[in-house]
Amino acid sequence: MEIDSASIKKVLIRGTNWVGDAVMSVPAMREVRRRFPESRISLLIRPWVKDVYGGADFLDEVIAFDNNGEHSGFSGRRRLVSELRERRFDLAILFQNAFEAAFLAWWARIPLRLGYARDGRSMLLSHAIPIDPEVRQIHQVYYYLGLLAGAGLLEPRPWKSPDPRPACSLNVLEPDREAARDLLRRHGIAAGELLIGLNPGASYGGAKRWLPDRFAEVADYLARKYAARIILFGSGTEAPITRYVAGRIKSPSVNFAGETTLGQLMGLIKECSLLVTNDSGPMHLAAALAVPQVAIFGSTSDIATGPLSEAAEVVRVPTDCSPCFLRECPTDFRCMIGISASQVIDAAERRLGGTR
């Protein structure tokens, strides 16, 4: 059944649950706006990724799905469904893969429900789209674009189309930028100082984390050569890693791990001249904010989830077991141990160019 764009007045997008995925779905959301220019487009998203879309010009509304608060349990889900039903959506586009995403759209009586045919949810979808096998071999940004293509909302096989990197761009809300600058001032960092960010954590697991001591070595070298101030990022759960790295950096540094909102983190990243990072949510944020970065890959694939930015450079070493996509390395961690501090420094200097 073809989706008639002219009849669609209200669209609900069920967004993804992780920061990196949220960024990689942005080009598809822009395509939804292009396809339905006069429609009201609402995004249903978990609270912890809401700030990713704070400055998004392709959305009319962001709805927080708080499954640990007002939407927890059966009564909370019923409350959410009532809220969605009252909005009288014509079309639900499910970028989130779970069965629950389809069930909530069905329960909310949204007549057109578009999603991938997976996780046993096809019966709940009006448009259950099979996954194109080619999607599994290319960047994840095309996973979301491929859903639209499968429903006839986009040309077939959009990975044959122009570079998606410009469509990944995001903005930081001005209050978050001001809050970030205020945080820097309170830590004695003046406006105009060259900032280099470090993101030594990765929430998925230890196999994605480069060696902390080498992060510190890179930080000290760049701080000395470029007269830079070092700031560290991470979530609250990654604070022990960032504390360890900060404790081994001899140059002045500030550790912001667990001390900011996501919007403020975006503001801090935007203030940086360079980010040195593992494969992580902040890596994707830096790409979307056009901040130069060096992204270190080991257990995961830069082909599938690398930063979509001309200002990014990936550092990895080929090994026979990478990418394995495991949370923890079961052998000798050769994919990360093989990446030297000098390799990352060389890449960082290329990204910094003539900056002093």
Question: Is residue 1 predicted with pLDDT exceeding 80?
Answer: no
Mean pLDDT, to the nearest integer, of 311-327?
Answer: 96
Q: Are residues 164 and 26 in the same domain?
A: yes
Per-residue confidence band for 114, with pLDDT thresholds at 50, 70 and 90: very high
Q: Are residues 143 and 277 in the same domain?
A: no
Q: Are residues 114 and 88 in the same domain?
A: yes
Question: Do 23 and 95 form a contact (C-beta atoms < 8 A)?
Answer: no
pTM of the predicted structure, to 2 decimals: 0.95
- Cα distance between residue 55 and residue 334, in whole Å: 40
Q: Rg of the chain's alpha carbons, rounded to an integer?
A: 21
* Residue 274, pLDDT score: 98
- Cα distance between residue 38 and residue 60, in whole Å: 11
Amino acid at 269: I
User: Domain end: 146, 168, 190, which one?
Assistant: 168
The helix, strand and coil proportions of the chain, stated in percent and rounded to the nearest 5, come to 45, 15, 40
DSSP string of 44-74, one letter each residue? EE-GGGGGGGTT-SS-SEEEE--TTTTT-HH
**How far, CA to CA in Å, does 55 sit from each of 16, 59, 165, 171, 280?**
17, 9, 18, 5, 21
Query: Dihedral of CA 308/202/117/89: which sign?
Result: negative
* Residue 355, pLDDT score: 58
* Residue 322, pLDDT score: 95
Q: Are residues 241 and 311 in the same domain?
A: yes
Q: What is the pLDDT of residues 196-253, one digit of tens each?
A: 999 999 988 899 999 999 999 999 999 999 999 999 999 999 999 999 999 999 999 9
- For the chain, the domain total comes to 2
* Residue 203, pLDDT score: 85
Question: Do 15 and 25 form a contact (C-beta atoms < 8 A)?
Answer: yes
User: Domain end: 152, 168, 184, which one?
Assistant: 168
**How far, CA to CA in Å, does 95 sit from each of 78, 156, 182?**
21, 18, 36
* Residue 204, pLDDT score: 87
Mean pLDDT, to the nearest integer, of 133-145?
Answer: 93
Mean pLDDT, to the nearest integer, of 325-350?
Answer: 96
* Residue 354, pLDDT score: 58
Burial of 280 (0-12, 13-18, 19+ CB in 10 A): buried
Q: Are residues 143 and 69 in the same domain?
A: yes
Question: Residue 263 sits in a domain of what CATH number?
Answer: 3.40.50.2000
User: Domain end: 107, 138, 168, which one?
Assistant: 168
> Mean pLDDT score of the chain, rounded to an integer?
95
Q: Are residues 154 and 226 in the same domain?
A: no
- Structural domain of residue 197, as residue ranges? 174-352
Higher pLDDT, 355 or 252: 252
Helix, strand or coil for residue 184? helix
* Residue 186, pLDDT score: 96
Per-residue confidence band for 84, with pLDDT thresholds at 50, 70 and 90: very high
Q: Are residues 146 and 250 in the same domain?
A: no
Q: Are residues 150 and 260 in the same domain?
A: no
Q: Which of 282, 281, 314 is nearest to 295 (CA)?
A: 314
Amino acid at 337: I
Q: If you search the block for the tokens 């390395």, which residue do you land on?
A: 329
Q: How many CA atoms lie within 13 A of 36 on its CB side?
A: 27
110's CB contacts (< 8 A; 6+ apart) are: 12, 84, 89, 90, 91, 92
